[in-house]
Amino acid sequence: MHKINPKKLLNSKWTAVSPKHKEKHFMVTDVEFDEEGQVLHCIIEAVLTKRAVEIQWFDLKDEQEWSFGWR
């Protein structure tokens, strides 16, 4: 499981392990925190298609779905 610091999520790059719709490379484009520093929402955008999707930030820890960086 990936160790992820939520404060360093913004602009981080990710590769989908099983790409769908030719979308393999993604970048976190928006992260919003509450008063306690907990992530409220995280937006990830496909580099090729520019499609943006809100995800749970901790889903990026799943090595079966996501790989850190672009590969």
pLDDT at 3: 81
Residue 7: CA count within 13 A, CB half-sphere = 2
Residue 29: CA count within 13 A, CB half-sphere = 12
What is the tens place of the pLDDT at every residue in 23-67?
A: 999 999 999 999 999 999 999 999 999 999 999 999 999 999 999
Picking from 65, 46, 61, the residue whose alpha carbon sits closest to that of residue 6 is 61
